[in-house]
Chains A and B, each alone.
Chain A
Amino acid sequence: MEIVVLLKQVPATESMIAVAGDGVSIKSDGLKYVINPYDELAVEEALVIREAQGGTVTIVSVGPAKAAEAIRTGLAMGADKGVLIDPGDLALDGLNTAKLLAAALKAMPHDLIVAGHRAVDDDNFQVATAVAELLGIPNISMVVKQTIAGGKIRCVCTVEGGTREVEAPLPALIAAQRGLNNPRYASLPGIMKAKKKPLETKKVADLGLNAADLQPKVRIKALKTPAERKGGRVIAGDSVQAKAAALAKALHEEAKVI
């Protein structure tokens, strides 16, 4: 089974994010970068599937040279090889990221593509599903469980108010949701081994695409930090009863939410 994981390097979720001087990007100095948490689930699931079925796990990422660190971490977890697609100074929107990934995937064998359902920096909810459409293969999103048998993958997915079971023939793309698994840590021997695993870098031209065809249709005009909440009104009272009554009254009469 040839398994490909789509992995993005993102700022750690505990990061404070500030807008840079240009007003359209974020200050990246001092930020700690990690594997997108959902893509970590994707790596884990790919490894579990390889352990059961045999095969190869290849990590593909679009990002700057620095993103190689995230791929190495995935290799240290146990993936076999990595491909970094460096877009150079192209400004990418979600769809163009998907086009780069799809072009790379067309040139490599893939029975199953495992992605995250969302990257916690851009929050596009787009790239994985768009890759499937560009490749003309089925996609199953928000996957919390999967089983493969007879050339088909069957997944349990979360939907509003419940779950749904969806089945598709391979090759297919699935996108991980929390609950799918608990990703393993990279072990020390894993980290040592990862250093020797193949990690290839490709440029846009290597994928048979050219920059002129990759003009973003979605452009950032301005980034802002949402208004700080002015909280901190502590409800005073002599007893729990008094506090609760004062809160209920405030919610009813002042905030008018009940």
Chain B
Amino acid sequence: MTQNILVVAEQAQSAFRKVTFEALSAGRQLAGALGGAVEAVVMGSGVEASAAQLAAYGAAKIYVADDGALADAATEAYTRVLAQVIEAAKPAVVLLGATTQGKDLAARLSARLDAALAGDCVAVKAEGGQVTATRPMYGGKILAEVTLSGSPVIVSIRPNTQTASQAAGAGAVEKVAVQVGDVATKVVAQQLDAGKVDLTEADVIVTGGRGMGCPDYSAVEALAAALGGAVGASRSAVDEGWRPASDQVGQTGKTVSPNLYVACGVSGAIQHLAGMSSSKVIVAINKDPEAPIMAKADYAIVGDLFEVLPVLTAEIKKIKG
């Protein structure tokens, strides 16, 4: 076993996800504490050319598993390749982004390697060789500090919780001879909204709740566009059929930690707060000064969202120029 950190890079539509760079940055600190190096692994089809980008975030070595058989992101195939790389690289810690794919992969890998897994962590550190991670439980109502034992240990990192910072690494590329074999699971189709920022990765989220009153979200969408952010929804808005379930923020929806969260016509039920209270700055716009969200918001405007949003959007456009 080495004291190295192996970061599993993830691509979306041919570009690395931001969380990959965040994980590399967290990995560098861990490597420093453990006395090892940060390495990365990229899996997919046609990914070799982009692998070098990972060196800019400190990867000393980059394992590249580039094979047509890995064109579809099927967890089963990735698990096999990753287990193969881990056997060769012998890292002390495997870091992944806690994305849909990363979480699934981490879980399969933990079972395959009989390895400790701490999922969806907001912090990870090493002290005296012991890896400790902080992970939200109960939808963020509790933060658990957990220790992981054995080797390797697996940690998935919640997007938007680590600062991605550059630091040149050697970036030596090592090609992996991929042995996937028969894969039972097949991705047969995919519909991706090109250019749409996912809520979990967005720096700014503007959410519309039941106070929207109807499926017309144009006021919220206009503010989100002005801020370069994504649109979220409360469960009530999803239940009304105004927004897709994938937009739901909360304990049974997405957990988000953007820099700025603007809640419009959202009362701030405990299940909603669970999903967004780790946002850096919270703004609430609500008619009701007593709504629970108002007590959690850094800035609140008491008023009708349909009157406030267009004016606020215009003011923000002025500032952004």
- Chain A interfacial positions (CB closer than 8 Å to B): 11, 13-17, 19, 26, 37-38, 93-95, 98, 120-134, 137-142, 144, 154, 157-169, 172, 177-179, 217-226, 229, 231-235, 240-241, 243-245, 247-252, 255, 257-258
Contact = CB atoms under 8 A, between A and B. Distances in A.
A218 B150 CA distance: 9
Given A130-B108, A178-B253, A219-B147, A167 B141 contact: no
State which size class the interface on B falls in. 35 or more
Nearest to B136: A123
B140 interface: yes
Contacts of A129: 75, 103-104, 107-108, 111
B17 to A, nearest CB: 8
A129 B297 CA distance: 37
Contacts of A16: 141, 270
A224 B145 contact: yes
Given A178-B252, A251-B283, A234 B301 contact: yes
Interface of A is mostly: mixed
Contact of B107 (A133, A142, A166): A133
Given A177-B245, A247-B283, A257-B281, A222 B145 contact: yes
Report, nearest first, the 7 A-B pairs whose CB atoms are least far apart.
A129-B107, A217-B116, A179-B245, A133-B111, A248-B315, A162-B192, A160-B198
Given A13-B251, A139-B75, A224 B142 contact: yes
Contacts of B180: none
Contact of B315 (A37, A162, A245): A245
Contacts of B116: 93, 95, 217-218
Contacts of B108: 129-130, 132-133, 139
Given A121-B137, A258-B260, A243 B270 contact: no
A231 B294 contact: yes
